Structure 1
């Protein structure tokens, strides 16, 4: 049978009855007072304990099931979890003559061995349409989680193509699978070609602004994100500290606006650029701005006087108080890699990047995009 012959043909070649061949292959049921008879190929006894069930464990399970023992009683004796025993009976048992569910230990051992070989073909590699869908959205800089949610939203009646984001990541990172093109790895948020554990980043040096109004005095309506018009802001700075781009994120809708700073990031330049950007907004969308304690905002009072928009400052070393803005800055690394000269991007390019971010689905908004999020 290992050479590909059927049960009946293999029995004819050996010269035995097909029923006898089936017993040789599977082992047969014991009489009420005996033990299960092993098949013709017997697993060598192991001296060390194993995480996986062995044939001896399965023989013990079959014997205790005949004695009407409970799942918990069976699990206690070999020191296994009850869920392990229950799962083994459910996965490796079979219907006997199409009627009763029975557990045959040697047949169960064979089924477990057939499922054991690795690596197994993944869902993405087996479905070309699914693979093309994922690759197309990775090229559009969608995250794996956004792609997986889009699959569920567009194809709710096709669970065979629903995957989780870890499946997408493994198809990119795990060696030897080849389910997704390796050149798509830089399209992920991190841009890394290898996975790395999260590490604690160094705290950057703080430059205090004068006459700050702290975030603790910010209106409560800004904290619960119930009303539009409360913004978070920051700068993304080039490696040489010579150029920067301002980022503004609306807390309720997660709408992104990028501020062009072609001449530098001195306080007066940042003030003027923010005034131009914020002045284009309706008055009801200019309720407050939250910034970190950077020296580029030391002219915040002049900004507030020009826009009628108060500025609040985060506590030292507390970037989570501007969580939406910090997340957006991470997304922008795909468009503006570290080390590039940010001054070479014209306002048109910044507007195109902001439009692409605002058109992508957002998990926090129930997978709506910021441009269409309910107000």
Structure 2
């Protein structure tokens, strides 16, 4: 849990999947709250292991209070997206976003497959269209073309000029409604997991490609409840992993 950022439920379920004995995840939680997993507290007020538990944060904006920028690319609404994409029936339909660090510095470009939850992460120097476009081409260009079909981006200004990406990768882009992160829930959830490794207001300039690859590898090899405790790596590549 401390080294790989797995939740108690993921740990208990993975051992069960491998046929290994383990206490229930509720027992793990109880031990955390009562005994801090046997770890020493660093100071008065230290919450210990509890600070590694997941917390979800939601930012909401009142309707009709913000305007979005005009797209410079062909616009297909998410409401026109085929049902088989909405129902997650295949690999190859990706949601894309950025994770901010210190303003004006490097950011993380994140790309997540809706079916397998496989995450691709790249550190780019600036939150600008040219950097994002090249980052998407680098990330998705490394995937077999048969597994790259559709993209659903955020409405941020860095995604407003994706013509080059469409041409180079041969993809179709479906745009969500402005300020509707729930329409890209897979990517939003993944970004929350990434924040465990790159906290808010941290300077991403201080992280290396090795740091980013480490985060990506840990997320893709962590079992997910939504995948029946398979890992994104296992689902995407059909290759089993083992703890024991």
Q: Decide: shared fold, TM above 0.5.
A: yes
- Find the counterpart in structure 2 of residue 324 from structure 1: 186
Over 3 Å counting, the alpha-carbon distance change for 1:179 and 1:233 in structure 2 is same
The question of 1:269 aligning with 2:131 is answered: yes
- Find the counterpart in structure 2 of residue 203 from structure 1: 61
- Find the counterpart in structure 2 of residue 187 from structure 1: 52
How much is the aligned-residue C-alpha RMSD, in angstroms? 2.4
Over 3 Å counting, the alpha-carbon distance change for 1:162 and 1:152 in structure 2 is farther
Q: Which moved more, 1:357-366 or 1:240-249?
A: 240-249
Over 3 Å counting, the alpha-carbon distance change for 1:179 and 1:259 in structure 2 is closer
CA deviation after TM superposition for structure 1 residue 241, in Å: 4.8
* Whole-Å separation in 2 of the counterparts to 1:200 and 1:354: 23
* Whole-Å separation in 1 of the counterparts to 2:165 and 2:154: 15
- Find the counterpart in structure 2 of residue 52 from structure 1: none
CA deviation after TM superposition for structure 1 residue 315, in Å: 1.1
For the pair shown, which has the larger CA radius of gyration, 1 or 2? 1
* Whole-Å separation in 1 of the counterparts to 2:216 and 2:170: 25
Select the residue among 11, 23, 26 that pairs with 1:162. Answer: 23
- Find the counterpart in structure 2 of residue 247 from structure 1: 110
CA deviation after TM superposition for structure 1 residue 283, in Å: 1.0
* Whole-Å separation in 1 of the counterparts to 2:116 and 2:18: 23
Over 3 Å counting, the alpha-carbon distance change for 1:212 and 1:258 in structure 2 is same
- Find the counterpart in structure 1 of residue 163 from structure 2: 301
The question of 1:342 aligning with 2:204 is answered: yes
Match of 2:133, SS? helix
CA deviation after TM superposition for structure 1 residue 149, in Å: 1.6
TM-score where L is the length of structure 2? 0.82
Q: Which moved more, 1:236-245 or 1:295-304?
A: 236-245
The question of 1:150 aligning with 2:14 is answered: yes
**Number of residue pairs matched?**
224
CA deviation after TM superposition for structure 1 residue 300, in Å: 1.3
Matches within 5 A, 1:114-125: none
CA deviation after TM superposition for structure 1 residue 312, in Å: 1.4
Select the residue among 213, 216, 219 that pairs with 2:76. Answer: 213
**Per-residue deviation, residues 289-313 of structure 1 (Å, max 9, x unmatched):** 1112111111112210121112211
Over 3 Å counting, the alpha-carbon distance change for 1:179 and 1:338 in structure 2 is closer
Select the residue among 25, 28, 31 that pairs with 1:171. Answer: 31
Over 3 Å counting, the alpha-carbon distance change for 1:187 and 1:200 in structure 2 is closer
* Whole-Å separation in 2 of the counterparts to 1:200 and 1:264: 25
* Whole-Å separation in 2 of the counterparts to 1:349 and 1:239: 17
Select the residue among 210, 230, 233 that pairs with 2:96. Answer: 233
Which one scores higher on RCO, CA 8 angstroms, separation ≥ 6? 2
* Whole-Å separation in 2 of the counterparts to 1:202 and 1:289: 24
Structure 1 segments of 4+ aligned residues over 6 angstroms from their partners: none
* Whole-Å separation in 2 of the counterparts to 1:355 and 1:321: 25
The unaligned stretches of length 5 or more in structure 2 are 42-47, 239-244
* Whole-Å separation in 1 of the counterparts to 2:172 and 2:99: 22
